[in-house]
Chains A and B, each alone.
Chain A
Amino acid sequence: MPAGFSAADFYNILPELVLTGGALLVLIVDVLTVRQQRSLLGWLTFGVLSATLLALLPFSDANTVASRGLLAIDGFAFFFKVIFLLTALVTVLMSSSYIEVEQLRAGEYYFLILCATLGMMFMASGIDLITILIGLETMAVAFYILAGFLKPNRRSNEAAVKYFLLGAFSLGILLYGMSTLYGLSGTTNVRELATALASQERSALLIVGLVMVVAGIGFKVAAVPFHMWAPDVYEGAPTPVTAFLSVGSKAASFAMLLRLFMEGLPFLADVWQPMFWVLAVVTMTVGNLAALTQSNIKRMLAYSSIAHAGYLLIGVVANSSRGVAAMMIYLLLYVFMQLGAFAVVVMLRRQDVVGDELKDLSGLYFRYPTAACAMLFFMLSLGGIPPTAGFMGKFWLFSAAIESGFFWLAVIGVLNSAVSLYYYIRVVVFMWMKEEALGSPIVASPSMAVALTVALAGVVVFGVYPRPLFELAQVSAQSLGGVVAAVGALSF
């Protein structure tokens, strides 16, 4: 045992340890079983994730710094880890039938899903630039492979290569920015960074470093103009991977962003607030406008997910504990609506039907009213219509903007969400008002049914009674260091 690490340090990363052990177990079991028993792996992965979630529960009100200042075990990290685990759980549930149809190698697939989840968890906990980066890369490398998992499919290959090249490039930029910050402050610890840099003159180098970090993270959350990879990757990657990527990776990147900017660079808020203001406006507008013309559901959801990154950036601009809480709430609710929508798309994938064009949804309601009703709720939720979860999320984001005095940002935000309804409703039109054009019957596996039920329940229950979620998020947001001070400066 290396000097300086105590038993407590290992206890603090118990959930991560469980997850790591579980991921290795999946690989071993994969070797030991024959191909016919593949469905076993899915349930094993489900068990690993559930065990991780259980191991995480004791940390709900923890607030410590672990591993010699590398990790923060606090409410903020807890909340995000719940998001990641929920996302992974639902993704695994919706994967089994897809793996069957596409003849994927289940063992590696589930292993990579678990690795990506592990990376995300470190991104949320990390308060050291190095830890954050390692978490980021653990997640990203897993996703590079997952994006190209449909080996004979050219689009999937293209997605993987594109994602890898642009990902590596953006990592370089992020790294360059971070090393600048390190060079100026002499520390890689995010919290020490704040104190070290606060007393310094604002040099041009500092601003350059900041811009680099913004650009690097902008790529990860697919903010315009760093979004070019997203539509192609989303379209090409296996659909459950797209779902996981669009929710999990986004949430993790936002967690990293909040750590870095709220805890590490709060004193530069007057510089990065305007930058994120512009990014938010451009991202939601471009995302929504591009989504309007898509005929491929996955591509449409990709652009819609870009737009949602734009909405989420409103929370960053607000730079208040309400803004942080809003982002956390939104990201958690986003799990249900986005994964739910993707679950329906995954269901459409059958032996003879690719099922990712809008027209493949035509008349879905007539044969599968339950699925169509669920999709209706997911679309309304993505568009932010009450009584669905999406409304409650948007309510928080816009109220954070108004509280911090960003009226115009809020106006642009709500107008954007009105525009977005046009393409979400189009999905509904296809399902409910077009002639039936379905190929072979759709069979929802039991696990898929569970995934859909969970997603639908999340969307409806939190849309009507979000009280427990709001309270948890409000408390958790407080634990993010530096935010409290920022609120003191901004409250009016």
Chain B
Amino acid sequence: MSNVADFPLLSLILFTPLAGAVLLLFVNRQSEDAIRWIANVVAGIGFLVSLPLWFWFEPQGAQWQFVERLEWIPSIGAEYSLGVDGFSALLVLLTTMMGSIAILSSWTAITERVKEYYIFLLVLQTGMIGAFVSLDFLLFFLFWEVMLVPMYFLIGIWGSDRRLYSAIKFFLYTLVGSVVMLLGILAIYFEHHAMTGIYSFDVTRFHELTLPVGLQWWVFLAFFLGFAVKVPMFPFHTWLPDAHTDAPTAGSVILAAVLLKMGTYGFIRFSLPILPEATIEFVPMVIWLSIIGVIYGALVALAQRDWKRLVAYSSVSHMAMVMLGMFSLNPVGIMGSIVQQINHGISTGALFLIVGIVYERRHTREISEYGGLSKIMPVYAVVFLIMTMSSIGLPTLNGFIGEILILQGVFVVNKMWAAVAASGIVLGAAYMLWLYQRTMFGNVDNPKNESLPDLNIRELATFVPLIVLAVWIGLYPSPFLRRLDSSVMHVVSRVNAAYAPLNADGGADASAPVDGSLAGGQ
């Protein structure tokens, strides 16, 4: 560890995609295959250079690892300061992996303006990684906003049907949330200065700050708007079905797998540890919005006739579940929440890829257009089945681990909440299995489907890592949980002090740390 401590690994991970984007600028737009190759290779390298975050990360080590600090704007106390804990390290790995999968999946799907497409995808990649690794709040905000523009273009240029409408809706919703969040950041910044005499955006400093409760309250609301739009929580979710449905496949995959995690990442990284008292106060509000989200998302998903829209609404439901676990504010719940974020990235990312495969072949997303595909595309059907099971939380697959931890965490706080959450899982099984039944089983009624080719090698390659991960997390999650332990305990120790009132009507031992016993016991 010591010999690698000085190596700017995070900067390398951060700027590899950007360097690729710059490189692509100089490639002739006519040589499309060269552009595709370069983009794929760059994304692959981006993933490879992020692997040390898995192997070199020390679960028992310092809170922040791979830290880099450089002066940026000293006159206002902003630094170029990067670092990861177990939580953000896993999210970075998820990002680099999903990024290369998304890029690989676009090979034949994107035939127009190929060069710009890959440039935007790579810039987006840098924005997302930057948001996860920044330990400076201003730097974080910068990357957070940088993500907007490439995503806007991806939806607006390469999307379907109402792409312009969906793109601007996505853009403005997120923007309103994030500018209000900026004000919250500034409020903390000045309060920190008033308390310590230092101008700083250092997140680790903010984690040690005890802000006045009144201020926390307002800042929580400001952050809430920013993060809740991204998650997206009911009632701020309305941009999501449109954006997901109209985005190109790779856009949907990135959106579901990584961008939505920005919101939940923000809550765990900023809202909970910086604003613990306010967090406690807002638990009922967040929990109820999450419960509504779980049920509402699932019910609307049940009613969808559009395959992609169904998956989009399932995201609303699943992310609400993530929020539910997080706001149980105990170690098990937060652990489950984080694991479920990773799981959602894997399974929903895969589900969007699955829709993308048939959309590319048939150019329709109507569920009724399909049926009996398992006879024509057997490999495809198997992949879809695995991912459906992963999504609905079948034991031995990843979804189960996340959901059981969330339920466990919520249960000790309030049994009613747990009951509602469990019903969300049942509904989730309903709409996913029904979708599977309508598209895969039965007779091939539609002659257009009769000659659909099964997955080719490239397409299969996009699914293999996701299936491997789903099984790995499902059977042996402890390497993941071990890496998350210190992140979870850090957050819980911040919100622990005021945790007692919640405990009163809940269980007794929810405050017991998950640490080794849980991580090793699975």
Residues of A near any B CB (own CB < 8 A): 380, 385-387, 391, 395, 398-399, 402-403, 407, 410-411, 414-415, 417-418, 421-422, 425, 429, 432-433, 465-467, 470-471, 474, 492
Contacts and interface: CB of A to CB of B under 8 A. Distances in A.
Given A402-B190, A433-B156, A433-B164, A410 B183 contact: yes
Contacts of A410: 183, 186
A470 B76 contact: yes
Contact of B176 (A386, A403, A418): A418
Contact of A467 (B75, B138, B171): B75
Given A398-B186, A417-B179, A421-B175, A387 B157 contact: no
15 contacts: A385-B149, A387-B142, A398-B183, A399-B189, A402-B183, A402-B187, A414-B182, A414-B183, A417-B179, A418-B176, A422-B172, A425-B168, A429-B156, A433-B164, A466-B73
Contacts of B183: 398, 402, 407, 410-411, 414
B142 A386 contact: yes
Contacts, number: 75
A453 to B, nearest CB: 16
Contacts of B74: 467
B143 to A, nearest CB: 8
B196 to A, nearest CB: 15
Interface in B178-214: 179-180, 182-183, 186-187, 189-190, 194
A492 B194 contact: yes
> Which A-B residue pairs are the 6 nearest by beta carbons?
A414-B179, A386-B142, A402-B186, A418-B176, A418-B175, A386-B145
B384 interface: no
Contacts of A395: 138, 182
From A391, A425, A432, A466, residue with most partner B Cβ within 10 Å? A425
B72 interface: yes
Contact of A470 (B75, B141, B157, B187): B75
Nearest to A325: B75
A414 B176 CA distance: 8
Nearest to B148: A385
A421 B73 contact: no
B171 A433 contact: no
Contacts of A407: 183, 187, 218
Nearest to B174: A418
Interface residues of B, number: 33
B179 A415 contact: yes
Nearest to A392: B73
A397 to B, nearest CB: 11
B153 interface: yes
B270 interface: no
Interface of B: 71-76, 138, 141-142, 145-146, 148-149, 152-153, 156-157, 164, 168, 171-172, 175-176, 179-180, 182-183, 186-187, 189-190, 194, 218
B424 to A, nearest CB: 32
Nearest to A380: B149
A387 B126 CA distance: 13
A399 B152 CA distance: 27
Contacts of B164: 429, 433
Contacts of A492: 194
A425 B187 CA distance: 29
Contacts of A417: 179
A133 B179 CA distance: 39
A465 to B, nearest CB: 8
Given A414-B182, A492-B194, 17 more contacts: A385-B145, A385-B148, A386-B141, A386-B145, A386-B146, A399-B186, A399-B189, A402-B190, A407-B187, A411-B180, A415-B180, A422-B168, A432-B153, A432-B156, A465-B73, A467-B73, A467-B74
A117 B218 CA distance: 46
Contacts of B189: 399
A133 to B, nearest CB: 35
Contact of A418 (B157, B179, B194): B179
B73 A470 contact: yes
A402 B138 CA distance: 15
A417 B178 CA distance: 11
A385 B71 CA distance: 22
Contacts of B145: 385-386, 391
Contacts of B176: 415, 418
A176 B61 CA distance: 72
Given A398-B186, A402-B186, A418 B142 contact: no
A421 B157 contact: no
Nearest to B189: A399
B157 A433 contact: yes
Contacts of A415: 176, 179-180
A417 B172 CA distance: 10
Nearest to A473: B75
Contacts of A380: 149
